[in-house]
A and B are shown apart, each in its own frame.
Chain A
Amino acid sequence: MWKTMIVAWREFKHTALTKAFIFGTIFFPLIIWGGIVVGSIIVRPSETTVQGTLAILDPTGEVFLAAEQEFDPERFKGPTLGEMMEDAARGTMGAIVHLDMKLEAHTDRQELETLQNRVREQELLAVAVVGDGVLDTANRDGRVVLYVDPAANPDHISAIQRTLGRSVVRARATQRELDVAELRAMLRDPQIVTRRLTDVGEAAAGVELQKMLPIAFMVLLWICAFASGNYLLTTTIEEKSNRVMEVLLSAISPMQLMAGKIIGQCVVGIFTIAVYGALGIGALFYFSMHDVIEISQLVYVVVYFFMAYLMIAAMMASIGSAVSDLQEAHALLTPAMLLLMVPWILFMPVSQNPNGTIATVTSFIPPLTPFVMVMRVTSSEPPATLQIIATMVVGWGGAIVMMWLCARIFRVGVLMTGKPPSPLELIRWLRYS
């Protein structure tokens, strides 16, 4: 057992304690995550103040009176969150614009041409022409036309448009003797908070996140198990191609060597899952959404990781022991990769219907069991306990059988050189040992 641990430590050290691994697995996600957090803190839209004169051609003068209040620099606090989101959705989100403008009142429509010329001469910033019937809510044709210089800043135009719009609403309310502030408060959408009732109390729902969680767990499981299996494949091939295998086998048995390599790479996988898991959980805490994950789900992820890893490791160790270089490995890797891609095809139907026929049947097919089950048990509709136990038995049974087959191929394969074996020859090897 001690020798197995020595091999395991070497595997871990030469895989995980390398610059490439540390940068790729730890620093790169940390940099991305840190970038998002820091970016959200330090990157704010720039702020500008618009100064100049806006002429309002309003025959009734009601809109002008309202505008005087809306354009008051003391009152103006910039766009609301909703307005900013609307801008973002339109792809027009820009700077936060403060208005510090003088207003000129005009009532005679014949002044329009003169006012337009003053805009051209840049004496005025803009001219707003209030159309007839703007204050009549039944009249859908009522409008305000804003004349601006062609070189005017789009962010400034948006700010003026918004404030003119508010002015019209204020004028309408005043005409009907309504309190504008109260009216706006009445129209504001309330915040809807969903709480999920649990056995011990209540928790935040995070509905969208809840939908994504099973897929995220499956992807995490797949990436970590596959990456570790892939490292196992490459280190086994390296030992064969460097001819160091026979030296190792003079000191330890093939089974000790295989067990050591599998344990070492398993620790690499656990290490990776811990890093990504911690980053994910850290992000949930940062956004105060940690209630969406339960401890039992994390336990399931770890249990299914071991199951998935053992199955992938069995495949990769068998292939690695049977070939002499990576090029030869490709022929045998193709069927294994096709099998490993199935969870990616299944994630949509399983996440949409975690207890449907496809999800239930594929839960009992060992190479797929851990990936399908991790999605099902972390979904909002987990399967019955009996089914979880049954799939555990099938999954672990499958993993043990795969490891047993791998051990038989490994002890023959590690000393074989020359032409890579065909699948039929691999079956023959099972009889040799």
Chain B
Amino acid sequence: MTTQTDVPTVQLESVSKSFGATRAVDDVSLEIPAGSLCGFLGPNGAGKSTTIRMIMSIIYPDAGSVRALGGSALAAKDRIGYLPEERGIYRKMRVGEYLLYIGRLKGLGGTDLKRRIGYWLDRIKLPNVIHKRCHELSKGMQQKVQFLAAVLNDPDVLILDEPFSGLDPVNATLLNEIIRELSDQGRTIIFSTHVLHQAEQLCDRIVLINHGKLLLDVSMEEIIARFDPRTLLVRPLNDQPLELDKMPGVVDFTAGGETGSVEVHLEPSADPQAIMREILNQSPVRSVELRRITLEEVFVRLVMESEGEAAAERAREELSHVENDDRRLA
């Protein structure tokens, strides 16, 4: 059960960071409430990893301030778990030795640390690897060991930078389960990805970044309310025609989707429930549902609003490339 509160766990105020002539993060302000499962989204090079590194006090902003757990992340490092985008491991070290080392650096020790390592190795389905050298593990297994290193200290805040990248579907599902479980325990999870549909399934809060600028920082409910497409998806039964053009509250409709569905666009004041009932009364249908907006559509719309049509088209193309690459990898 998520225990979200209004107390911000992570706060950024007018944060900017440049590398040479490149402005990686540009005047970003945001607050991530305690207990939320927050998706940090944007295409590659948007500034997600730089922002996360500043939250972790690995690098420092040129301007603005960053606070984590009420102070500097440097002081709270033992309460934060971090899985960086670039996975790292000591190749010649044994798995157990590596985890003991990271655990000790996180302030753990003694039998409790060994107990935690044993528990988590079982939990992520990696038994019998404790004495193996890291380079003997497959890439996916190494990634799970790295995830384990991030959660070993039972963190209040868990920051995962592209956690599903390179994982097979079985391990991705396992990781998904664990992330939900940790979120249900009340931990704040910041989860960065460029694959927007993953965030849709998992997150209750979304932060959208593009070219170092913050586009959006709201809850999923707010996104649904704010970007409600006012559209119903209807799949008629036996190709029976629907008489939608004279129905009150309907602006227009488009038929002929791949699945034979009809998109019914509603007036802003129309009650979708009433129109759904009306359609069902009119003729039997295979299904009728309220169409939900995708994060990709939200992203493109926000880019269009802030940077114009051409930029939105570029953003759409970027996202479709990323999505295709991701599918190919999977």
Which A residues contact B (CB, under 8 angstroms)?
3, 6-7, 10, 14, 238-239, 242-253, 415
Q: What chain B residues lie within 8 Å of A252 (beta carbons)?
A: 77, 105
Q: Which of B74, B78, B88, B146 has the most CB of A within 10 A?
A: B88
Contact residue among A10, A244, A251 (Cβ-Cβ distance under 8 Å from B77): A251
Tell yes or no: B84 within 8 A of A by CB: yes
B residues in contact with A250, CB < 8 Å: 56, 58, 77, 80, 82, 84, 150
Most buried by B among A243, A244, A245, A248: A244
Residue among B58, B59, B102 facing the most chain A CB atoms (10 A cut-off): B58
Q: Is the CB of B105 within 8 A of A249?
A: no
Bound-state Cα–Cα, A311 to B101, Å:
28
With A6-B105, A250-B80, A250-B82 known as contacts, the answer to whether A244 contacts B88 (CB < 8 A) is yes
Is the C-beta of B253 less than 8 angstroms from some C-beta in chain A?
Answer: no
Q: By the criterion CB–CB under 8 Å, are B84 and A247 in contact?
A: yes
Residue B23 CB within 8 A of the other chain: no
* Size bracket of the B interface: 20 to 34
For the complex, give the distance between the alpha carbons of A238 and B88 in Å. 11
CA–CA, A251 to B102, complex, Å? 8
Inter-subunit contact A251/B105 (CB<8 Å):
yes
In the complex, besides A244-B88, A246-B82, A251-B77, 18 extra interface pairs with C-beta distance below 8 angstroms are: A7-B105, A10-B101, A238-B90, A239-B88, A239-B90, A242-B88, A243-B86, A244-B89, A246-B86, A247-B82, A250-B56, A250-B58, A252-B105, A253-B57, A253-B74, A415-B53, A415-B58, A415-B59
* CB-based contact A243/B59 at 8 Å: no
B292 at the interface (CB under 8 A from A): no
Sample of 15 A–B contacts (CB below 8 Å)? A6-B101, A239-B90, A243-B86, A243-B88, A245-B88, A246-B84, A246-B86, A247-B82, A247-B88, A247-B149, A251-B78, A251-B102, A252-B77, A415-B53, A415-B59
Q: Which 7 A-B pairs have the closest CB atoms?
A: A243-B88, A244-B88, A250-B82, A251-B105, A246-B84, A243-B86, A249-B58
B106 interfacial contact with A, CB 8 Å? yes
Tell me if B114 counts as interface (CB < 8 A to partner A).
no
A246 touches B88 (CB 8 A): yes
Partner of B105, one of A14, A248, A415: A248
CA distance A227 to B84 in the complex (A): 32
Q: For B90, what are the chain A residues with a Cβ–Cβ distance below 8 Å? A: 238-239, 242, 244
User: What residues of chain B have their CB less than 8 Å away from a CB belonging to chain A?
Assistant: 53, 56-59, 74, 77-78, 80, 82, 84, 86-91, 93, 101-102, 104-107, 146, 149-150
Q: How far is B104's CA from A415's CA once the two chains are assembled, in angstroms?
A: 22
| B88 near A251: Cβ-Cβ < 8 Å | no
CA A10 – CA B92 in complex, angstroms? 13
C-alpha spacing A10/B105, complex, angstroms: 11
Q: Which residues of A contact B105 (CB under 8 A)?
A: 3, 6-7, 248, 251-252
Instruction: Give Cα A246 to B49, complex, Å.
Output: 12
Query: Whole-angstrom distance from the CB of B53 to the nearest CB of chain A?
Result: 7
CA of A247 to CA of B90, assembled, Å: 11
**Minimal beta-carbon separation of B75 from chain A (angstroms):** 10
Contact call A6/B104, Cβ cutoff below 8 A: yes
**Cα of A250 to Cα of B147 in the assembled complex, Å:** 13
Q: Nearest-CB distance from B220 to chain A (Å)?
A: 27
A244 to chain B, nearest CB (A): 3
**Contacts of A246 on B, CB cut-off 8 Å?**
53, 58, 82, 84, 86, 88
Inter-chain contacts of B86 with A (CB < 8 A): 243, 246
Residue of A nearest to B62 (CB): A432
Q: Does the CB pair B56–A242 fall under 8 Å?
A: no
Q: How far is the CB of A422 from chain B (nearest CB, A)?
A: 13
Complexed CA–CA distance, A7 and B106 (Å): 12
B87→A243 contact, CB < 8 A: yes
Distance, CA A247 to CA B82, complexed state (A): 7
- The distance in angstroms between the C-alpha atoms of A246 and B77, with both chains bound, is 13
Contact status A251-B91, CB under 8 Å: no
- Bound: A246/B53 CA distance, A: 9
User: In the complex, how many angstroms separate the beta carbon of B80 from the nearest chain A beta carbon?
Assistant: 7
B306 to chain A, nearest CB (A): 30
Minimal beta-carbon separation of A121 from chain B (angstroms): 76
* Nearest Cβ on chain B to A215's Cβ, whole angstroms: 38
Question: How many Å lie between the Cα of A78 and that of B192 in the bound state?
Answer: 90
List the B residue with the shortest CB-CB distance to A3: B105
Collect the chain A residues with CB atoms within 8 Å of residue B78's CB.
251
Measured CA separation A415–B91 after assembly (Å): 19
Bound CA span A6–B104, Å? 7
> In the complex, how many angstroms separate the beta carbon of A122 from the nearest chain B beta carbon?
71
**Smallest CB gap from B82: residue in A:** A250
Whole-angstrom distance between the alpha carbons of A238 and B89 in the complex?
10
> With A and B bound together, what is the CA distance between A10 and B146 in angstroms?
19
B74 contact set on A, CB distance < 8 A = 253
Q: Is the CB of B146 within 8 A of A247?
A: yes
Name the B residues within 8 Å of A243 (CB-CB).
84, 86-89
Within the complex, the shortest CB–CB distance from B79 to chain A, in Å, comes to 11
Give the distance to chain B from A60, nearest Cβ to Cβ, in Å. 85
- Taken together as a complex, chains A and B put the C-alpha atoms of A3 and B104 apart, in Å, by 8
Q: B56: nearest residue on chain A (CB-CB)?
A: A250
Write out the residue numbers on chain B whose beta carbons fall within 8 Å of the beta carbon of A253.
Answer: 57, 74
Assembled-state Cα–Cα distance A415/B85 (Å): 12
Q: Which of A6, A10, A245, A250 has the most CB of B within 10 A?
A: A250
Q: Which chain B positions have C-beta within 8 A of A242?
A: 88-91
**A7–B150 alpha-carbon span in the complex (Å):** 18
Minimum CB–CB distance for A368 against chain B, Å: 36
Give the Cβ gap from B71 to chain A, nearest Cβ, in Å. Answer: 14
- Could you say which residues of chain B place their CB within 8 Å of the CB of A251? 77-78, 102, 105-106
Q: Which residue of chain A is the closest to B57 with respect to CB atoms?
A: A253
CA distance A248 to B84 in the complex (A): 10
| Cα A407 to Cα B191 with chains together (Å) | 31
Complex contacts, B146 vs chain A, CB 8 Å: 247
A426–chain B nearest beta-carbon distance, Å: 14
Chain B residues positioned under 8 Å from A10 (CB to CB): 101
Within the complex, what minimum Cβ distance (angstroms) separates A254 from chain B? 8
**Chain B residues whose C-beta falls within 8 Å of the C-beta of A3 in the assembled complex:** 104-105, 107
